[in-house]
Structure 1
Amino acid sequence: MGVSTSSPEKGISVSSPADGVRVVTVDVPPVNALPVRGWFALADAVRAAGRDSGARCVVLAAEGRGFNAGVDIKEIQARGRGALVGANRGCFEAFAAVYECEVPVVAAVQGFCLGGGVGLVGNADAIVASEDATFGLPELDRGALGAATHLARLVPQHLMRTLYYTSRTVSAAELRAHGSVWRVVPRPELESAALELAREIAAKDGELIRLAKAALNGIDPVDVRRSYRFEQGFTFEADLTGVAGRVRDDFGKEATE
């Protein structure tokens, strides 16, 4: 999407394809599962894009097969508790950066949007998705907890719980039926559809759109930062008791079979 500049963390870039629009793109093969440094780099890129005085809308996009596959589980398995704490903090910062971005954030989602991907998208202001996009929290299958706060912004309460307990996914078309996805388009049209919405938002007065973003965040019924931080405590508890490691190891064995 336009001419880009790379961030200090490989795989995160920012481009300006249209007046008032900044696109933050993640490209971390093979599945856009971010390491600890990647989450912090993404947070920095989104915050910087929002602070840009010429920006009036930010698009959060990704290259590759899917939008985001969450945290890098292999890094956590290799580095242990230090990586888990880092991933928790990195996800917290990245999700907060999207929510607190000074201008509206449009998420352009293709393929899989799992775990941390739901955290990013759930905190965005608008979502445009390709027809093959699927959303879900496989956390219980991977020895973790979290991002129910953000899934609850996409689907009704009982569906959120069912998806969470079963680790099932939901399609972009289903989310559109629930009113959380703005448009569902063929995958080749995703970039243009996201930019079309971003341009419409960016056509508004820059100062007024920033006030509008602050006002809407201010009337949110749930404090997403506090709610997500509460969830993260249970992830760490699961690790301390050994449950998380056991489940992660089982998941790793299944993935290699």
Structure 2
Amino acid sequence: MTMNGLVRLEDHGARIDVVLNRPDARNALNLAMCEDLIEAFTQIAAMPDAGLVVLRAEGPAFCAGADLKERKGRDEAWVKGRRRLAFQAYETIGNCALPVIAQVQGALVGSGGEIAMSCDFIVASEAATFRFPEPQWGTVGATQRLQRVIGVPRAKELLYTGRVMGAEEALRIGLVTALTGAETLSATVDEIAERILRAPTLALRLTKHCIDQGARTDLNSGIRIELAAIDRLLSESDWRGGVERFGAQIGSAAKEQKA
């Protein structure tokens, strides 16, 4: 698949940035952007040195939701196909084996929330706003991921009212995991990404796999998933070296505290 230029892929070695690149339309999600997101994460899956993904956006808005303009003159079959492609894009993000951080700097609406919630967690600017107005637009959306992130009652209230939610409330209810000033958002994400990348890639991949699979099953089954991951880690990684490196880090931190 050839990318349409609405999503930019930046290779920074172990860190890969996926950038929504339609700022003139406030990064509204259209069919071409769905295709680009699928292609971007397909390419990332084939990058052997990639260890982490940051999904961010150009311009003042993260994503203004679905581009309703592209539906003018279309029939129901086209709209259904377009919605299915959007769900495929969200699923492709969610299925990424690497840690994926969403960096949200401004308005996040509807489909923008689906994109961000498909990531592992959201780091947001204090200037960010969150809105899920699908029922207000006469459609249905965000009914599944949103309730799983913030709970059923809160998801219903946000969807029924379509109100704008501020960043501090989003942090309080768990939609956002870290909040920072607008001018320090990029630096904060950089710091988080650097900290994550200190861990061995296989350990990160297996940790994500265990959490994602364990969330879909009971505790005993989840423990079996984790034990299988431990078996793989012991057979495929330099786990002894990892223990030694971690011990050295603890020792160094202890010395700094004494000093």
Distance in 2, Cα, partners of 1:37 & 1:30: 13
- Superposed CA deviations along residues 79-136 of structure 1, whole A, max 9, x for unmatched, are 2324312321221111101110010110000111111111111121121101111112
Aligned partner (choices 132, 154, 159) of residue 149 of structure 2: 154
Is residue 130–residue 166 contact of structure 2 (8 Å, CA) maintained in 1? yes
Q: RMSD value over aligned CA atoms? A: 1.7
Is residue 124–residue 176 contact of structure 2 (8 Å, CA) maintained in 1? yes
Q: SS where residue 18 of structure 2 aligns?
A: strand
Q: SS where residue 68 of structure 1 aligns?
A: coil
Q: 1:53 to 1:201 in 2, by over 3 A?
A: same
- Superposed CA deviations along residues 1-41 of structure 1, whole A, max 9, x for unmatched, are xxxxxx62122111134x41100000112211121121121
- Which residue number in structure 2 is paired with residue 32 of structure 1? 27
Write out aligned runs for 1:49-88 (5 A): 49-88=44-83
- Superposed CA deviations along residues 178-202 of structure 1, whole A, max 9, x for unmatched, are 2332221122222221222122112
- Which residue number in structure 1 is paired with residue 14 of structure 2? 20
Over the matched positions of the two proteins, sequence identity in percent amounts to: 30
Q: Which amino acid aligns with 1:78?
A: G
Q: SS where residue 60 of structure 1 aligns?
A: strand
- Which residue number in structure 2 is paired with residue 91 of structure 1? 86
- Superposed CA deviations along residues 45-103 of structure 1, whole A, max 9, x for unmatched, are 12322442111110000011211112210111232324312321221111101110010
Q: Flag structure 1 segments of 5+ consecutive residues without an equivalent.
A: 1-6, 223-257
2:212 aligned with 1:204, yes or no? no
Is residue 68–residue 117 contact of structure 1 (8 Å, CA) maintained in 2? yes
2:175 aligned with 1:180, yes or no? yes
Q: SS where residue 78 of structure 1 aligns?
A: coil
Once the two structures are overlaid, the 10-residue window that deviates more, 63-72 or 173-182, is 173-182
- Which residue number in structure 1 is paired with residue 188 of structure 2? 193
- Which residue number in structure 2 is paired with residue 220 of structure 1? 215
Distance in 1, Cα, partners of 2:38 & 2:69: 21
Distance in 2, Cα, partners of 1:51 & 1:208: 18
Q: Which amino acid aligns with 1:128?
A: V
Distance in 2, Cα, partners of 1:23 & 1:153: 26
Aligned partner (choices 104, 110, 114) of residue 115 of structure 1: 110
Is residue 22–residue 57 contact of structure 1 (8 Å, CA) maintained in 2? yes
Structure 1 runs, 4 residues or longer, greater than 6 Å off: none
User: What TM-score, normalized to structure 2?
Assistant: 0.77
User: What TM-score, normalized to structure 1?
Assistant: 0.78
Is residue 147–residue 155 contact of structure 2 (8 Å, CA) maintained in 1? yes
Q: Which amino acid aligns with 1:112?
A: A
Q: Which amino acid aligns with 1:27?
A: N
Q: CA deviation at 1:162?
A: 0.6
Distance in 2, Cα, partners of 1:87 & 1:71: 10
Is residue 132–residue 172 contact of structure 1 (8 Å, CA) maintained in 2? yes
Q: Which amino acid aligns with 1:126?
A: F
Q: Which amino acid aligns with 1:130?
A: S
Distance in 2, Cα, partners of 1:217 & 1:48: 22
Q: Which amino acid aligns with 2:86?
A: C
Q: CA deviation at 1:141?
A: 1.9
Q: Which amino acid aligns with 2:164?
A: T
Q: SS where residue 132 of structure 1 aligns?
A: coil
- Which residue number in structure 2 is paired with residue 44 of structure 1? 39
